[in-house]
């Protein structure tokens, strides 16, 4: 058996067309959607993300407003900025860029975003709606992952679903999204770092979601230890968390993780270098893709699976918030 590759790029392109149509209708009614992004300080990774957000918003007719704030801003000052955006009738959605400087409490600031403008679905109100069903927005990556599953397998009733990872932005929301139906939900098991015998659970999964980012965490940990100790970098075992033998024959595998790790090591155990003398980096998931695709019935690639659809879900949420605001005005 060779698995069907679940093409997130293709699904994202189709959904993006609908988002653009909805945004155009709002603009024609004088209610152009606007996404306000709040970034505190300078962070290279965050800058790449905001540039991408701006391009994606422009491509579907959403105005993009990036608010760059000083990295010495206080908690109260940032909360005041959020409050101003909450009360700005021209702003449809608000997204808080991470990471934040250490003097700021990210959770309390995230919660301060008005539920009707919380395009990431990360506030307590939207999380509560997710638990009970309903609401406008849910976490983008979780929604994207479940969308790809439902397009691949519309009938989930009674299937065994195992989720590896229990974060607030992916693992937990996926579980809640899958349990929305009273009569047609699958049976959901959530695994995490303390799970005993992970393979026992994954091998019985008809559907396997993996969103742990273990290889990335190991690589960052090794870098941090080398930097703090001044000793030579020791590259840890960066093998995929889920090996092929941990996947049930015929399972559907949704690999959500994005690990940016070295392509390999040289004979001295050091990371391979690229032609610029820097560490050669590859992007991989948590699953042994080549091995798993020989056992699974369908599988998402990394990159090209959940990631592209996640971006479009942010756009969709922004338009949905704009539609709700327009309906109330």
Q: Which residue has the tokens 């999380």?
A: 127
Please tell me whether residues 44 and 163 are part of one structural domain: no
Q: pLDDT band at 136, cuts 50/70/90?
A: confident
Please report whether residue 248 resides in a domain: yes
Total structural domains within the chain? 2
Please tell me whether residues 67 and 201 are part of one structural domain: no
Mean pLDDT of 40-67: 90
Please tell me whether residues 249 and 108 are part of one structural domain: no
Mean pLDDT of 26-47: 91
Any idea what the Cα angle at residue 52 is, between residues 51 and 56, rounded to 5°? 120
Comparing 61-70, 249-258, 265-274, which segment has the lowest mean pLDDT? 265-274
Please tell me whether residues 43 and 73 are part of one structural domain: yes
Please tell me whether residues 75 and 145 are part of one structural domain: no
Specify whether the CB–CB gap between 273 and 195 falls below 8 A. Answer: no
Please report whether residue 5 resides in a domain: no
Comparing 40-54, 75-89, 301-315, which segment has the lowest mean pLDDT? 40-54
- Domain containing residue 40: CATH number: 3.40.50.10860
Mean pLDDT of 152-163: 96
Please tell me whether residues 66 and 41 are part of one structural domain: yes
Please tell me whether residues 212 and 63 are part of one structural domain: no
Please tell me whether residues 72 and 157 are part of one structural domain: no
Please report whether residue 325 resides in a domain: no
Please tell me whether residues 122 and 146 are part of one structural domain: no
What percent of the chain has a predicted confidence (pLDDT) above 90? Answer: 86
Q: Is the pLDDT of residue 1 over 90?
A: no
Q: What is the pLDDT of residue 198?
A: 98
Please tell me whether residues 153 and 277 are part of one structural domain: yes
Q: Which residue has the tokens 């439902």?
A: 150
Q: Which residue has the tokens 């090209």?
A: 304
Please tell me whether residues 83 and 208 are part of one structural domain: no
252 in helix, strand or coil? strand
Q: pLDDT band at 176, cuts 50/70/90?
A: very high
Please report whether residue 10 resides in a domain: no
Please report whether residue 11 resides in a domain: no
Q: Is the pLDDT of residue 134 over 80?
A: no
pTM: 0.93
- Expressed as residue numbers, the domain containing 185 is 140-308
Write out 266-280 in H/E/C secondary structure. Answer: CCCCCECECCCCCEC
Q: Is the pLDDT of residue 234 over 90?
A: no
Please report whether residue 177 resides in a domain: yes
Which of 64, 95, 126 is where one domain is finished? 126
Please tell me whether residues 199 and 280 are part of one structural domain: yes
Q: What is the pLDDT of residue 26?
A: 98
């Amino acid at each position: 058996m060779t698995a069907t590759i679940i093409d997130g790029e293709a699904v994202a392109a189709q959904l993006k067309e609908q988002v653009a149509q909805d945004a155009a209708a709002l603009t024609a009614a004088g209610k152009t959607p606007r996404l306000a992004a709040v970034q505190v300080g300078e962070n290279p990774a965050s800058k790449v993300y905001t540039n991408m957000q701006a391009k994606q918003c422009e491509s579907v007719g959403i105005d993009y407003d990036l608010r760059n704030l000083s990295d010495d801003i206080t908690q109260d000052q940032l909360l005041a900025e959020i409050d101003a955006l909450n009360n700005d009738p021209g702003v449809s959605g608000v997204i808080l860029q991470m990471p934040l400087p250490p003097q700021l409490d990210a959770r309390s600031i995230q919660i301060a975003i008005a539920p009707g403008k919380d395009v990431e679905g990360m506030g307590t109100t939207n999380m509560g709606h997710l638990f009970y069903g309903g609401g406008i927005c849910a976490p983008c990556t979780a929604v994207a992952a479940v969308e790809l599953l439902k397009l691949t397998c519309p009938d989930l009733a009674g299937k065994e679903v195992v989720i590896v990872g229990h974060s607030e932005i992916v693992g937990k929301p996926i579980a809640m999204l899958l349990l929305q139906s009273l009569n047609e939900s699958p049976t959901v098991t959530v695994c995490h770092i303390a799970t005993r015998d992970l393979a026992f659970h994954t091998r019985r999964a008809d559907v396997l979601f993996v969103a742990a980012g273990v290889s990335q965490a190991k690589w960052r940990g090794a870098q941090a230890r080398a930097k703090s100790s001044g000793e030579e970098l020791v590259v840890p075992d960066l093998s995929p968390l889920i090996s092929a033998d941990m996947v049930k024959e015929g399972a559907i595998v949704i690999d959500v993780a994005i690990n940016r790790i070295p392509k390999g090591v040289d004979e001295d155990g050091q990371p391979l270098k690229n032609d610029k003398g820097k560490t050669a980096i590859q992007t991989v998931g948590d699953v042994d893709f080549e091995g798993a695709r020989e056992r699974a019935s369908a599988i998402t690639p990394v990159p090209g699976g959940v990631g592209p659809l996640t971006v479009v879900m942010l756009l969709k949420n922004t338009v949905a918030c704009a539609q709700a605001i327009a309906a109330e005005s």
